Structure 1
Amino acid sequence: MGGSARDTLVDRTSEAVTNYAVTLGTREEQNPYTAELAAIAMALESMPPSVRHRCIIIITRNQSALAAIRQPRQQSGQGIITQIYKSANLLKQRGNSIVFRWAPAESNFALGSEAKAAAQRATKEVRTPDSQLYPAKSTTVKLAMTKQRRGRTLPQGVGKFSTAMDAALPGKHTRVLYDNLKRREACVLAQLRTGMAKLNGFLSRIGAAESDLCACGHARETVEHFLWRCIRWTALRDGMLQCTETRRGSLSFYLGSKAPSDPKKWVPNMKAVRATIKYTIATRRLDLDDEHRLDQSQ
């Protein structure tokens, strides 16, 4: 259990102390912010009708909860904040005043330590929620995004070329690769990274070309052959060769992919990626019909 509400009501006239502790739900459903709002709401609702013409002081260590109560806009926990305002208005009708104060975590606040210990007891695994509280919007969104990331895998048999070349798929680095590219550049990179390029090796596989042989006559026209081995484009590879001395010929390096040997904290080398795109465009080998028309109109 990850969320609990705990309050201590102190009657200074009789020195009577009343403790309340409620288990709200799991960490996936609640967070310390909503738990603190629930605790404040419970404290105000628990004030007996006999409390009149008093100064009620609410002390909390959660600044976010105080800020939300002070200026309720579109924060999570709007339902609880509404309850707080309703209870506060009823108390004010009885002549009471309500003051909210923040107690820093490092302060010597005895009631705060007692509240923390009670919250730990209320959030043990054996405890079940005492009340049904709406999950916080921020927590719900975070949980949904986590589940999406966990389930973000490519179907079996799909993208064999890409997954073999890029150990980081699926990953956020693809946005880094494509976000700053122009349409034509992105089209070129997508062909090279997927292997579904306008090259005879792929075209023959889908029945769009009679042979998979490259026009140079030396080998099957694959992405790797096109980028590094075809003798027709030797003079155009200087920009690519200048990007590295040790990783020449590496599809992963030049196409913005993570190789198995790359460190954990890896980022695509955009200089190499752009050099590869520039080389490919210069050969005009992957040009599509609409791109030809676009070039002519410009």
Structure 2
Amino acid sequence: MGTITGSFTPTTHTTGGKDKARDDIIHMLQNISDNRQPTTVVFTDGSALGNPGPTGSAAVIYEQWGSTEPFAVRKPVASKSNNYEGELEGLHLAIETLSRRPSTANHVLILCDCKAAIESVTGTQQVTAYNSLVHSIRNKLRSLHLQGHTIQFTWCPGHMGIPGNEIADKEAKLAAAEAANIQTNASWTRQQATKHIETQAHMRWDRRTKLNTKSEHMQKIAMNMKKKGKALGKRRTQININRLVSGHTKLNAYQNWKNPETSPNCPNCDAPETTNHFLYHCARYERERHQMLQEIESTYETYGTPAENRHTDIVTLAGMREDLTDVINTQMYRTFSQYIESTRRFDVLN
């Protein structure tokens, strides 16, 4: 795993291949959570549809890993460019976003799946390709360093099931699709065109991520969710289950991300109303929750599910487990539907 530590000094050794690098990344992130060290974690990516072709970039930012909700920013780069420029623009978008947003974490970990882009922005020599863009990134890195931030770059293998990287990849592809519709003016200089694209991206900076899940919840979804959700029962309940899985909920923690004037707390208790709070902790729904968990355990008993596989996370509740049979997944979905309907939490909100 190639890591640039200190302020942003490169270390080029990489051993063990992509599988080892993925395991190292997961271990590193787990250590950050276990040690409760305030750390901003950023995943970046770039994508070109055709290479050359419409190109986009994206960054997924966890302002404090393990304790704050993530948000994503993406940017269409050019109607015809390449993956490398997309990767550089992803780093630029991340660094510029961090520069504009106050952070309580002085340590920043940036994970990128392009070694060449990392080496370019952390080096000191003039580069041949995209020199202006690389120079801009380096200047912003120096500014962050002078503000007291320690920046660490780590190579993150792509398409290896690492949640933040997978989200950044999807967002970069969406940005590339948007770039296909960019109307360019032939009389513009490259700098003018880039400035125009950045201006459009900045107009969307306050748009919050579609995901309202904390790191642990997101990892469960990205690593375990293989099957499509069921389509049983009331349509409104189906919609609410899909929202709970994706994080697009009417719960107050997510609504606060969209509008800071909205209280993030549960209307029933003095705690942030996250998905986990609604499912597992809110005292108001203790009776309904107890009934749901009893029925889940009964289902596991009926079908002889091993103890180590008897989970109750959101993926299980939504009937999306790859390792469970369709019969069990269907029963889980129905039990979860009964819980949602019996709490009536979303009746008024929807």
TM-score relative to the length of structure 2: 0.34
Rg larger in structure: 1
Question: Which structure has more RCO (C-alpha within 8 Å, separation ≥ 6)?
Answer: 2
TM-score relative to the length of structure 1: 0.40
